Amino acid sequence: ICSPIVILLIGFISSGLTFSLGALLISVSLFITVTYPRPANIFLFFGVLLGLGTSFIFHSTLYVLKTSLFHHLALANGIISSGACAGTLVQSFVIGPLCTKYTLKTVFMIYSAFMLIFSLISFGVYMIAYLKKSRNKIIQPLKINNDEHKMLEFLKNKKFILVCSSCFIFCFGYLIIYFHMQIYYISTLSSAKNTSNIIGYFFLGSFIGRLFFGVIATYTGEKTIYLLITCFLSMGLLNIASILCISFISFFSYCILLGIFDGGYNALIFPVSCDI
């Protein structure tokens, strides 16, 4: 919901400060969530504030990719975003034992400390670059680059609006997979065995998909949008076919295949939007 606001914020304060602020928001949200675990606090901080901080980090990263690696955008986006898959894959196997041994509160505190460190590092890098630039020229008043921030101009691009509308509708059901996959697995097999690994298998497929489609998109040029459409269609068909999952092998195959096309979607959506 806050994505358009975040894009404007990047224009005002730079991507470096936006990233630093996002990491700080996540750190604060995790700390308050486990320190004062009331329903209202969980909703406000673990829900709203954590989501806002994630949006800050996500869009500031994309902005850096767009300005630095535009000619290899799909590949760069695929490689960088696959890091999230690798992290989720590894943590899906260890997060349960860690919470059991050290409690959820301790694990959240550790994550909060890491995000605070990331925030400080990002702020430090920004300040070094800012001071270096200030030595070379007179600092100009802060203003938005009109060439890159005419948001209303996008409303005249019908193709852009069509892609955005399609993705908006698609995302209505996108996160349902994350929320209900484990519940569906348990209710179908009547067993909680390997439940925590299900999301890990999904992100294993997503890791492969982001790298694969990122590489393929470097050769497809303007036809990259057809790869994106293929990912949308394949994810829809796989979700329809998920009712046929009756064993661990079928769930494993479903998660891997769905993850591959999910990875393609994540690797391609930003480059396609920039192309349009």
* pTM greater than 0.95 (yes/no): no
Per-residue model confidence as pLDDT tens digits over 165-197: 887 887 777 777 777 787 888 888 877 677 767
Q: Determine whether 165 is exposed, middle or buried from the number of CB atoms within 10 Å of its CB (0-12, 13-18, 19+).
A: exposed
DSSP calls for 125-154: HHHHHHHHHHHHSPPPPP---TTT--GGGG
Per-residue model confidence as pLDDT tens digits over 78-100: 888 788 788 877 887 788 788 88
- The pLDDT mean for the chain works out to 82
> What is the pLDDT confidence band of residue 25, given thresholds at 50, 70 and 90?
very high
> What is the pLDDT confidence band of residue 141, given thresholds at 50, 70 and 90?
very low
Q: What is the per-residue burial (b if ≥16 Cβ within 10 Å, else e) of 120-131? A: eebbeebeeeee
pLDDT at 139: 46
Cβ-contact 83, 272 below 8 angstroms: no
pLDDT at 92: 72
> What is the pLDDT confidence band of residue 30, given thresholds at 50, 70 and 90?
very high
Per-residue model confidence as pLDDT tens digits over 255-272: 999 999 999 988 888 888
Query: What amino acid is encoded at 272 in this protein?
Result: V
Query: What amino acid is encoded at 131 in this protein?
Result: L
Cβ-contact 7, 59 below 8 angstroms: yes
> What is the pLDDT confidence band of residue 144, given thresholds at 50, 70 and 90?
very low
Give the residue from 31, 38, 68 showing the smallest Cα distance to 53: 31
pLDDT at 152: 61
Give the separation between CA 27 and CA 45, rounded to whole angstroms: 10
DSSP calls for the chain: --HHHHHHHHHHH-HHHHHHHHHHHHHHHHHHHHHS--HHHIIIIIIIIHHHHHHHHHHHHHHHHHHH-GGGHHHHHHHHHHHHHHHHHHHHHHHHHHHHHH-HHHHHHHHHHHHHHHHHHHHHHHHHHHHHHHHHSPPPPP---TTT--GGGGGG-HHHHHHHHHHHHHTTTTTHHHHHHHHHHHHHHT--TTHHHHHHHHHHHHHHHHHHHHHHHHHHGGGHHHHHHHHHHHHHHHHHHGGG--SHHHHHHHHHHHHHHHHHHHHHHHHHHHH-
- Answer whether residue 153 shows pLDDT above 90: no
The domains of the chain are located at 1-82+102-138, 147-275
Mean pLDDT of 193-220: 84
